[in-house]
Structure 1
Amino acid sequence: MNEAYKNLLERRSVRKYNDKKVSHDLIEKIVYAGQCAPSGMNRQIYAFVVVEDEELVNVLSKMNAEVMNSSSDPFYGAKSMIIVFADSNAPTYLYDGALAMGNLMNAANALGVDSCWIHRAKEVFETDFGKELKKKWGLPESYEGIGHCILGYRANTLDKRAERTSKVIYA
Protein backbone atom coordinates (compact mmCIF):
# COMPACT_ATOMS: atom_id res chain seq x y z
CA MET A 1 0.00 0.00 0.00
CA ASN A 2 1.23 3.52 -0.75
CA GLU A 3 2.87 5.00 2.39
CA ALA A 4 1.00 8.33 2.17
CA TYR A 5 -2.35 6.56 1.88
CA LYS A 6 -1.43 4.17 4.71
CA ASN A 7 -0.52 7.17 6.91
CA LEU A 8 -3.94 8.72 6.30
CA LEU A 9 -5.69 5.49 7.29
CA GLU A 10 -3.57 4.89 10.39
CA ARG A 11 -3.55 8.37 11.96
CA ARG A 12 -5.41 8.50 15.25
CA SER A 13 -6.21 11.16 17.80
CA VAL A 14 -4.36 10.50 21.05
CA ARG A 15 -5.85 11.62 24.34
CA LYS A 16 -3.24 10.54 26.89
CA TYR A 17 0.43 11.49 26.61
CA ASN A 18 3.59 10.42 28.40
CA ASP A 19 6.29 12.87 29.58
CA LYS A 20 8.57 12.54 26.54
CA LYS A 21 8.89 15.82 24.67
CA VAL A 22 8.82 16.09 20.89
CA SER A 23 12.12 17.39 19.53
CA HIS A 24 12.22 20.86 18.06
CA ASP A 25 13.52 19.40 14.77
CA LEU A 26 10.43 17.20 14.42
CA ILE A 27 8.14 20.10 15.30
CA GLU A 28 9.78 22.20 12.57
CA LYS A 29 9.07 19.44 10.03
CA ILE A 30 5.45 19.20 11.19
CA VAL A 31 5.00 22.97 10.90
CA TYR A 32 6.42 22.96 7.38
CA ALA A 33 3.82 20.35 6.38
CA GLY A 34 1.16 22.68 7.78
CA GLN A 35 2.56 25.52 5.70
CA CYS A 36 2.22 23.31 2.62
CA ALA A 37 -1.53 22.81 3.14
CA PRO A 38 -3.80 23.92 0.30
CA SER A 39 -5.45 27.29 0.70
CA GLY A 40 -8.05 29.23 -1.26
CA MET A 41 -6.35 30.92 -4.21
CA ASN A 42 -3.03 29.97 -2.57
CA ARG A 43 -3.44 32.93 -0.18
CA GLN A 44 -1.65 31.06 2.62
CA ILE A 45 -3.38 33.18 5.22
CA TYR A 46 -2.60 30.93 8.17
CA ALA A 47 -0.12 31.43 10.97
CA PHE A 48 1.43 28.79 13.20
CA VAL A 49 2.44 29.45 16.81
CA VAL A 50 4.67 26.73 18.23
CA VAL A 51 4.39 26.41 22.01
CA GLU A 52 7.15 24.30 23.56
CA ASP A 53 7.20 26.05 26.95
CA GLU A 54 5.34 23.75 29.37
CA GLU A 55 4.28 26.66 31.58
CA LEU A 56 2.52 28.35 28.66
CA VAL A 57 0.99 25.02 27.60
CA ASN A 58 -0.46 24.73 31.13
CA VAL A 59 -1.82 28.29 31.05
CA LEU A 60 -3.47 27.68 27.68
CA SER A 61 -4.86 24.37 28.93
CA LYS A 62 -6.51 26.10 31.90
CA MET A 63 -7.94 28.80 29.61
CA ASN A 64 -9.29 26.15 27.25
CA ALA A 65 -10.84 24.25 30.16
CA GLU A 66 -12.52 27.45 31.40
CA VAL A 67 -14.18 27.92 27.99
CA MET A 68 -15.91 24.57 28.43
CA ASN A 69 -16.51 24.97 32.19
CA SER A 70 -14.24 22.07 33.08
CA SER A 71 -11.37 21.46 35.46
CA SER A 72 -9.88 18.60 33.42
CA ASP A 73 -6.83 19.03 31.17
CA PRO A 74 -8.14 19.40 27.61
CA PHE A 75 -4.57 18.94 26.30
CA TYR A 76 -4.32 15.47 27.90
CA GLY A 77 -0.81 16.02 29.27
CA ALA A 78 0.77 16.97 25.92
CA LYS A 79 3.97 18.98 26.42
CA SER A 80 3.88 21.01 23.21
CA MET A 81 1.49 22.22 20.56
CA ILE A 82 1.07 24.16 17.37
CA ILE A 83 -1.75 26.70 17.38
CA VAL A 84 -3.21 27.45 13.97
CA PHE A 85 -4.59 30.91 13.24
CA ALA A 86 -6.09 32.15 9.98
CA ASP A 87 -6.97 35.61 8.71
CA SER A 88 -10.73 35.98 9.03
CA ASN A 89 -10.69 38.62 6.28
CA ALA A 90 -10.25 35.82 3.74
CA PRO A 91 -13.52 34.13 2.72
CA THR A 92 -11.95 30.66 3.01
CA TYR A 93 -10.10 31.14 6.30
CA LEU A 94 -11.91 28.39 8.25
CA TYR A 95 -11.37 25.84 5.48
CA ASP A 96 -7.77 26.88 4.98
CA GLY A 97 -7.08 26.64 8.71
CA ALA A 98 -8.78 23.24 8.90
CA LEU A 99 -6.66 21.94 6.03
CA ALA A 100 -3.53 23.20 7.78
CA MET A 101 -4.59 21.38 10.97
CA GLY A 102 -5.09 18.20 8.97
CA ASN A 103 -1.65 18.48 7.42
CA LEU A 104 -0.10 18.99 10.86
CA MET A 105 -1.72 15.87 12.29
CA ASN A 106 -0.96 13.71 9.26
CA ALA A 107 2.66 14.89 9.18
CA ALA A 108 3.02 14.22 12.90
CA ASN A 109 1.78 10.67 12.41
CA ALA A 110 4.13 10.11 9.48
CA LEU A 111 7.03 11.21 11.71
CA GLY A 112 6.02 8.98 14.64
CA VAL A 113 4.50 11.76 16.73
CA ASP A 114 1.00 11.54 18.21
CA SER A 115 -1.44 14.43 18.01
CA CYS A 116 -4.99 15.58 18.56
CA TRP A 117 -7.02 18.59 17.39
CA ILE A 118 -8.28 20.54 20.38
CA HIS A 119 -11.00 23.06 19.66
CA ARG A 120 -11.83 26.35 21.41
CA ALA A 121 -8.81 28.28 20.07
CA LYS A 122 -11.22 30.92 18.78
CA GLU A 123 -12.69 31.47 22.23
CA VAL A 124 -9.34 31.32 24.06
CA PHE A 125 -7.83 34.01 21.83
CA GLU A 126 -10.89 36.25 22.09
CA THR A 127 -10.14 36.75 25.82
CA ASP A 128 -8.12 39.76 26.94
CA PHE A 129 -5.13 37.53 27.76
CA GLY A 130 -5.50 35.72 24.44
CA LYS A 131 -5.52 39.05 22.60
CA GLU A 132 -2.36 40.07 24.49
CA LEU A 133 -0.64 36.87 23.38
CA LYS A 134 -1.66 37.43 19.76
CA LYS A 135 -0.26 40.96 19.96
CA LYS A 136 2.97 39.67 21.55
CA TRP A 137 3.29 37.14 18.72
CA GLY A 138 2.70 39.82 16.06
CA LEU A 139 -0.63 38.46 14.88
CA PRO A 140 -3.16 40.98 13.55
CA GLU A 141 -6.56 41.17 15.28
CA SER A 142 -8.19 39.62 12.20
CA TYR A 143 -6.35 36.33 12.80
CA GLU A 144 -8.73 33.89 14.45
CA GLY A 145 -7.75 30.78 16.39
CA ILE A 146 -8.65 27.66 14.41
CA GLY A 147 -7.29 24.92 16.65
CA HIS A 148 -4.59 23.64 18.97
CA CYS A 149 -2.66 20.71 17.51
CA ILE A 150 -1.29 19.06 20.64
CA LEU A 151 1.81 16.90 20.15
CA GLY A 152 3.50 14.16 22.11
CA TYR A 153 3.80 10.43 22.50
CA ARG A 154 0.94 8.21 23.65
CA ALA A 155 0.94 6.93 27.21
CA ASN A 156 -1.08 3.81 26.40
CA THR A 157 -2.04 1.57 23.52
CA LEU A 158 -4.90 2.68 21.35
CA ASP A 159 -8.20 0.88 21.24
CA LYS A 160 -9.42 -0.60 17.99
CA ARG A 161 -10.51 2.08 15.53
CA ALA A 162 -14.23 2.76 15.62
CA GLU A 163 -16.23 1.64 12.62
CA ARG A 164 -16.52 4.33 9.95
CA THR A 165 -20.14 5.49 9.80
CA SER A 166 -20.13 8.51 7.47
CA LYS A 167 -22.50 8.36 4.52
CA VAL A 168 -21.09 7.76 1.05
CA ILE A 169 -23.35 8.51 -1.87
CA TYR A 170 -22.45 7.89 -5.49
CA ALA A 171 -24.61 9.97 -7.80
Structure 2
Amino acid sequence: MDAYENLCTRRSIRNYNDQEVSDEVLEKIVYAGQCAPTGRNRQNTGFVVIKNKEMIDKLSKMNAEILHTDSDPFFGAKAVIVVLVDTKEGSTYEYDGALAMGNLMNAAHALGVSSCWIHRAREMFDSKEGRELLNQWGFSETYAGIGNCILGYSEQEVSMCKRTSKVVWVK
Protein backbone atom coordinates (compact mmCIF):
# COMPACT_ATOMS: atom_id res chain seq x y z
CA MET A 1 0.00 0.00 0.00
CA ASP A 2 1.45 3.39 -0.87
CA ALA A 3 1.82 6.02 1.86
CA TYR A 4 -0.90 8.33 0.55
CA GLU A 5 -3.47 5.54 0.28
CA ASN A 6 -2.50 4.34 3.76
CA LEU A 7 -3.11 7.79 5.23
CA CYS A 8 -6.47 8.15 3.48
CA THR A 9 -7.85 4.71 4.37
CA ARG A 10 -6.84 4.26 8.04
CA ARG A 11 -9.78 4.25 10.45
CA SER A 12 -10.18 3.82 14.20
CA ILE A 13 -11.40 0.30 14.90
CA ARG A 14 -13.21 -0.68 18.08
CA ASN A 15 -13.96 -4.34 17.37
CA TYR A 16 -11.24 -7.00 17.47
CA ASN A 17 -11.18 -10.72 16.83
CA ASP A 18 -9.06 -13.24 18.79
CA GLN A 19 -6.02 -13.18 16.49
CA GLU A 20 -2.84 -12.13 18.29
CA VAL A 21 -0.51 -9.46 16.85
CA SER A 22 2.96 -10.98 16.46
CA ASP A 23 6.02 -9.57 18.21
CA GLU A 24 7.65 -8.97 14.83
CA VAL A 25 4.76 -6.81 13.65
CA LEU A 26 4.63 -4.95 16.98
CA GLU A 27 8.37 -4.23 16.72
CA LYS A 28 7.80 -2.62 13.31
CA ILE A 29 4.90 -0.56 14.63
CA VAL A 30 6.93 0.67 17.63
CA TYR A 31 9.88 1.51 15.38
CA ALA A 32 7.59 3.75 13.33
CA GLY A 33 6.51 5.46 16.55
CA GLN A 34 10.15 6.02 17.47
CA CYS A 35 10.71 7.61 14.05
CA ALA A 36 8.09 10.31 14.67
CA PRO A 37 9.47 13.85 14.74
CA THR A 38 9.96 15.54 18.09
CA GLY A 39 10.51 19.19 18.98
CA ARG A 40 14.19 20.07 18.67
CA ASN A 41 14.82 16.36 17.99
CA ARG A 42 14.64 15.62 21.73
CA GLN A 43 13.47 12.03 21.16
CA ASN A 44 11.58 12.28 24.45
CA THR A 45 8.94 9.62 23.80
CA GLY A 46 8.66 6.31 25.61
CA PHE A 47 6.68 3.24 24.63
CA VAL A 48 5.33 0.34 26.67
CA VAL A 49 4.25 -2.61 24.52
CA ILE A 50 1.74 -4.80 26.33
CA LYS A 51 0.48 -8.20 25.22
CA ASN A 52 -0.18 -9.58 28.70
CA LYS A 53 -3.97 -9.96 29.05
CA GLU A 54 -3.98 -9.29 32.79
CA MET A 55 -2.09 -6.01 32.30
CA ILE A 56 -4.32 -4.97 29.39
CA ASP A 57 -7.36 -5.71 31.57
CA LYS A 58 -5.86 -3.68 34.42
CA LEU A 59 -5.19 -0.67 32.18
CA SER A 60 -8.65 -0.96 30.65
CA LYS A 61 -10.20 -0.98 34.14
CA MET A 62 -8.18 2.10 35.14
CA ASN A 63 -9.34 3.85 31.97
CA ALA A 64 -12.96 2.80 32.52
CA GLU A 65 -12.94 4.22 36.05
CA ILE A 66 -11.84 7.61 34.70
CA LEU A 67 -14.55 7.38 32.04
CA HIS A 68 -17.12 6.29 34.68
CA THR A 69 -18.21 3.23 32.73
CA ASP A 70 -18.37 -0.53 33.21
CA SER A 71 -17.58 -1.22 29.55
CA ASP A 72 -14.14 -2.10 28.15
CA PRO A 73 -12.60 1.08 26.67
CA PHE A 74 -9.90 -1.10 25.05
CA PHE A 75 -12.56 -3.06 23.12
CA GLY A 76 -10.90 -6.46 23.59
CA ALA A 77 -7.68 -5.41 21.83
CA LYS A 78 -4.93 -8.02 21.85
CA ALA A 79 -2.09 -5.52 22.29
CA VAL A 80 -1.66 -2.01 23.64
CA ILE A 81 1.18 0.43 23.13
CA VAL A 82 1.20 3.12 25.79
CA VAL A 83 2.84 6.34 24.62
CA LEU A 84 4.60 8.38 27.28
CA VAL A 85 6.60 11.57 26.95
CA ASP A 86 9.15 13.17 29.25
CA THR A 87 7.59 16.50 30.25
CA LYS A 88 10.86 18.03 31.42
CA GLU A 89 12.11 18.06 27.85
CA GLY A 90 10.34 21.21 26.72
CA SER A 91 6.96 22.57 25.83
CA THR A 92 6.25 20.36 22.80
CA TYR A 93 5.92 17.05 24.62
CA GLU A 94 2.16 16.70 23.95
CA TYR A 95 2.69 17.28 20.23
CA ASP A 96 5.65 14.88 20.22
CA GLY A 97 3.46 12.19 21.77
CA ALA A 98 0.60 12.89 19.36
CA LEU A 99 2.92 12.51 16.37
CA ALA A 100 4.18 9.21 17.80
CA MET A 101 0.58 8.01 18.21
CA GLY A 102 -0.15 8.95 14.60
CA ASN A 103 2.89 7.05 13.37
CA LEU A 104 1.88 3.98 15.41
CA MET A 105 -1.63 3.93 13.95
CA ASN A 106 -0.50 4.58 10.38
CA ALA A 107 2.23 1.92 10.60
CA ALA A 108 -0.26 -0.56 12.03
CA HIS A 109 -2.65 0.07 9.15
CA ALA A 110 0.15 -0.34 6.60
CA LEU A 111 0.95 -3.72 8.19
CA GLY A 112 -2.70 -4.87 8.17
CA VAL A 113 -3.32 -4.27 11.89
CA SER A 114 -6.31 -2.31 13.16
CA SER A 115 -5.87 0.37 15.81
CA CYS A 116 -7.53 3.11 17.82
CA TRP A 117 -6.25 5.94 20.03
CA ILE A 118 -7.77 5.60 23.49
CA HIS A 119 -7.49 8.78 25.53
CA ARG A 120 -7.23 9.31 29.30
CA ALA A 121 -3.61 8.07 29.46
CA ARG A 122 -2.62 11.26 31.26
CA GLU A 123 -5.17 10.68 34.00
CA MET A 124 -4.27 6.98 34.19
CA PHE A 125 -0.59 7.66 34.79
CA ASP A 126 -1.13 10.67 37.03
CA SER A 127 -2.88 8.35 39.50
CA LYS A 128 -1.06 6.57 42.33
CA GLU A 129 -1.59 3.22 40.60
CA GLY A 130 -0.37 4.64 37.29
CA ARG A 131 2.74 6.18 38.87
CA GLU A 132 3.54 2.79 40.42
CA LEU A 133 3.31 1.19 36.96
CA LEU A 134 5.59 3.86 35.45
CA ASN A 135 8.10 3.22 38.20
CA GLN A 136 7.83 -0.55 37.64
CA TRP A 137 8.48 -0.01 33.92
CA GLY A 138 11.51 2.21 34.60
CA PHE A 139 10.05 5.64 33.77
CA SER A 140 10.72 8.67 35.97
CA GLU A 141 8.06 10.89 37.52
CA THR A 142 8.56 13.41 34.71
CA TYR A 143 6.86 11.14 32.16
CA ALA A 144 3.22 11.77 31.27
CA GLY A 145 0.74 9.54 29.50
CA ILE A 146 -0.23 10.73 26.02
CA GLY A 147 -2.30 7.88 24.62
CA ASN A 148 -3.09 4.19 24.54
CA CYS A 149 -2.79 2.71 21.06
CA ILE A 150 -4.96 -0.40 21.05
CA LEU A 151 -4.15 -2.96 18.37
CA GLY A 152 -5.65 -6.09 16.91
CA TYR A 153 -7.33 -7.54 13.87
CA SER A 154 -10.87 -6.61 12.93
CA GLU A 155 -13.56 -8.40 11.01
CA GLN A 156 -15.59 -5.22 10.41
CA GLU A 157 -15.81 -3.34 7.15
CA VAL A 158 -13.96 -0.04 7.06
CA SER A 159 -15.90 2.92 5.70
CA MET A 160 -14.36 5.65 3.60
CA CYS A 161 -13.44 9.03 5.06
CA LYS A 162 -16.38 11.46 5.08
CA ARG A 163 -14.12 14.48 4.53
CA THR A 164 -16.24 16.94 6.48
CA SER A 165 -13.36 19.13 7.64
CA LYS A 166 -13.53 22.78 6.75
CA VAL A 167 -10.93 23.72 4.14
CA VAL A 168 -10.15 27.30 3.16
CA TRP A 169 -7.78 28.18 0.33
CA VAL A 170 -6.07 31.56 0.35
CA LYS A 171 -4.29 32.31 -2.92
Q: Structure 2-normalised TM-score? A: 0.96
1:156 CA displacement = 2.3
Q: What aligned pairs does 1:97-116 form with structure 2 within 5 A after superposition? A: 97-116=97-116
1:143 alignment partner in structure 2: 143
Write the distance in 1 (CA, Å) between the matches of 2:3 and 2:146. Answer: 25
Q: What is the aligned partner in structure 2 of residue 36 from structure 1?
A: 35
Shift of 1:164: 1.4
Residue 169 (structure 1) shift: 1.5
- Report the equivalent of 1:16: 15
Residue in 2 that maps onto 1:157: 157
Letter in 2 for 1:44: Q
5+ residue gaps in structure 2?
none
Q: What residue in structure 2 maps to residue 128 of structure 1?
A: 128
Cα displacement (A) at 1:162:
4.8
Q: Are positions 1:94 and 2:94 aligned together?
A: yes
Tell me the C-alpha RMSD between the 2 structures: 1.1
C-alpha offsets along residues 80-104 of structure 1, whole Å, 9 cap, x if unaligned? 1100001112210000000000000
TM normalised by structure 1 equals 0.96
Identity %: 58
**Secondary structure of the structure 1 residue equivalent to 2:123:** helix
Name the CA distance, whole Å, in 2 between partners of 1:23 and 1:54: 14
Ranges in structure 1 where 5+ consecutive residues have no aligned partner: none
Amino acid at match of 2:114: D
* Count of aligned pairs between the two proteins: 169
Secondary structure at the residue paired with 2:104?
helix
Contact kept, 8 Å, 2:17 with 2:152, in 1: the verdict is yes
The CA distance in 2 between the partners of 1:72 and 1:51, in whole Å, is: 20
